[in-house]
Amino acid sequence: MAQILPKLISLGTSVPPHRITQADVLSILVQAKGQALPPRMAEILGNTGISQRHIAVPPEYYFNARSWAGRARVYENTAAQMFEAAAAQALTRAGMKAAEIGQIVFVSTTGTMTPSLPSRMIASMSFAPDTRCVPLFGYGCAGGVIGLGVAADLYRACPAKPVLLVSLELCSLAYDHARMDKKDMVALALFADGCAAAIIGSGAGPELGAFASHVWPDTLDMMGWEIGDTGFDLVLARDIPVFVNSHFAPVCDQFIAAQGLAKSDMAEPACHPGGGRVVDALAEYLGNDLPATRAVLRENGNMSSPTALFVLEALLAAGPITKPTLLTALGPGFVGAMGVLKT
């Protein structure tokens, strides 16, 4: 039997319509609170490497009292629009129709619904009624890279039709301006909303090679959600830039070596940026300044799971890859996700 080689046929992205700069965040917070902000807030906003972000609804909305029902309605309405925009772009770039897709892998950690969002999109986007929907929840920032690996595995198992991956997050729905501890200030400074879609199948495009993940013991408190009374509350407890070099680097070294590669053999990596200090740590470890990763962070902020796919889109837009390309992301678990695209 011939070996199935999944290819990345196309990518598409979308962001919500409301753009906000770091200066806007400071100004709006001062207006909303009617008092000066902690000096630490301005310092955090200035050290993120972010210029602007996109969020689901106008900034003023987030100063209303947070509620599960209110944020769920925003997720349901906005997520559907972003899903359709990114998926339609990926389909157009691939020269495909929705009915040609066999499976949809949907990654999201910032909202949930039953039936799932991809199930709801079957009719509205004219996917075939027998399209299999595979929702993945809980991977946070690592979800895009993990989802790409899952989509490749599903295509290997069922290669009759291409697989659509959609990675979508509305991180802004966790904003709670009634709170102002360190992790809430980080959330206000970093997180944003976005969606990326990828089509995996046969034909032209880079090959999706090996993917792997690694969960470190006793790290559940590093990142994630707590279920609060009014919404998801951010868990962010340890210094991730330090963790990159102390824990992630040796695991990633093993993954790269297992592919018969060295860091010097590879093109510019597509990394989930996290924040400015995380990018600096990754750049030091990888021996690459990561200009595409920095550009996506600067223009879009940390969108959680789709961010690495935005970086990959930027790299591929510059031309076909001529060397293996590493993908990396870190997320709740605490988990490291890695993958390789081959020429």
- Biggest CA pair distance of the chain: 69
Quote the Cα angle for 149-165-14, to 5°.
Answer: 125
Specify the pairing of strand 193-201 against strand 163-170.
antiparallel
Interval 42-73: pLDDT, tens: 777 777 889 999 999 998 888 788 888 998 99
Are both 7-201 and 207-342 of the same fold? yes
- pLDDT tens digits, one per residue of 226-279: 888 888 888 887 688 899 999 999 999 999 999 999 999 999 999 999 899 999
Looking at domain 7-201, which CATH architecture does it have?
3-Layer(aba) Sandwich (3.40)
Q: For the chain, what are the domain ranges?
A: 7-201, 207-342
Give 161's pLDDT tier (boundaries 50, 70, 90): very high
Pair 234, 276: CB distance under 8 Å: no
Q: Give the residue-averaged pLDDT of 204-222.
A: 94
Question: What is the rounded CA–CA span in Å between residue 130 and residue 287?
Answer: 46
CATH class of domain segment(s) 207-342: alpha beta
* pLDDT tens, residue by residue, 15-44: 999 999 988 887 777 776 666 767 777 777
Question: Is residue 184 over pLDDT 80?
Answer: no
pLDDT of 1 reads: 57
- Which structure tokens are listed for 254? 């093993």
Residues in the chain: 343
Distance CA 203, CA 207 (A): 10
Mean per-residue pLDDT of the chain? 91
Element (H, E) at 117: helix 117-124
